[in-house]
Every structure is written in C-alpha cells, then in structure tokens.
Amino acid sequence: MTPKLYLIAGHTQGKDEGAQNLQTKETENIIARNLLLQVFPEIQKEVFTDICPFDLTLEEKTAWVNKKAGSDDVVLSCHLNSSPNRTEKGAMIFYYGGSQKSKEVAQKILEAYCKATGLQNAGVHPDTSSRFGRLGIVRDTRGWAFLIELGSINNDLETVKAKGVKGILAGIRAVFGKAEDFPFIDVDRTHPYFSAADWAKKRGIASGYGDGRLGVDEPLTVGRFLAFLRKYDNLK
C-alpha cells in the first residue's frame, strides 16, 4: 500500500493554542492551521492526505491518528518554537528517539523545509530530548510521526507566514517524492507495482481515474481488465 500523510496543527483551537507572538498576539495553533489549510489542497493532489480536526486535545489527536494510520504512514505535527528568553531562531524537528530510520526521514524533511524557507536549520532531535522527556504525538502514534518547529514564533514569524507553505510542501515531497515523479497519485516510488504502473501509463495502457488515481490496490473487475487488454491490443 502507498503510504498516506496525516497533518496536525500543534496545540488545540480555542483551548490551549500554544505560544503567542508578543506583538501580533497570534498563537501557534492559529499560524499552523492557516498554513496547513493552504498545504492540504496542494499536497492531496499528490499524496493521500488527511488533516486532523483543529480542536482536538493531544490525547484525542493521538487517538485520531491511531484509528486511521498504518505502520508505513507519515504523521507531521506542526508547531512554532518559543523559549523564556525569546532568543531562539530557526526550524527544528523531533523524531522517534532510538530509531535511525526516523532520524533519517526527519533530516530529509527539515533540510528541504529550511532550504525552501531560508530559515536556520536548528537540527534534528530525538523526542526524548524534549523538555517533556518524550513527545506523545511522536511516540504514541502509529506510523512515522514527527513534530516540526517551523521557526520561532517571535523571531521568524514573518518568514514562516510568507514561506511556510512552500517549506512544508518541500519537506513532504522530500519524503514522498514530487508529483511529476508519480505515474498516479496512489503509486509512488515505494509501491511494489511502481514499475509496472509507470510502464502502463507511458505506453498508454492505463490512464487511471479522473482524480489521478490508478486504483492500484483495488480488486480488478473483469470489465476494467478487458479495457486494459483492449488498449494493449490496439497499441500492438
């Protein structure tokens, strides 16, 4: 199965909205959800994507992910950084501490994000190094889960607002690949039938559905099989 993507805005709308910018009074949750509402319609053209309801608590978000995600899916929780002295700058990402693969994926996401936004790369960190000792959204969810600090809410806000969408999309594509690299949106390079689907599309045998899917994991009906066979015969 092709991996899916689950997007989460950090903190909880209307309850605990996270850190606040001292001048604009915008919160982490407001900024993150505004960015994700722009990211979602773009990335869902390329990757099966779902976005977590903004008003859920951390425990509810974890439960939401675990009802939907599989072991190969990717979960990205978006926050903004803050500290008591307010001197922090740059973007960082937390991965599942103890997993080398999780660290490598986190590096891909962060490097692409920072390159697209121009923000300082503040590094990849195991979730166990956070001030909480662990991050539930990373450690207690299914799939490959990451918490990204998109930048400092006080020192990087304008850049995050202006370039955050571009950066998040770049980070996601660094993991899933670019849309133009996929023959169909449900067949990326990790799919076991990628080569066959790519060949079939390039030969004109398989055109897929109107929404860009091939339906590669669906049961094949006799009618659809005959349609493929007829196209192949015509091409010969």
How far is CA 67 from its chain centroid? 17
pLDDT, residue 212, reads 77
pLDDT, residue 213, reads 81
The pLDDT of 156-169, averaged and rounded, is: 96
d(CA 51, CA 49): 7
CB atoms within 10 A of CB 236: 5
Contact 5, 176 (CB under 8 A): yes
d(CA 106, CA 68): 21
The pLDDT of 6-31, averaged and rounded, is: 92
pLDDT, residue 84, reads 83
* Sequence spans of domains, the chain: 5-180, 183-235
Q: What contacts 24+ positions apart, CB below 8 Å, involve 132-136? A: 134/97, 135/94, 136/58, 136/59, 136/62
pLDDT, residue 187, reads 80
Model confidence, pTM: 0.76
Which tens digits make up the pLDDT trace of 187-198? Answer: 876 678 888 988
What topology does CATH give the domain 5-180?
Aminopeptidase (3.40.630)
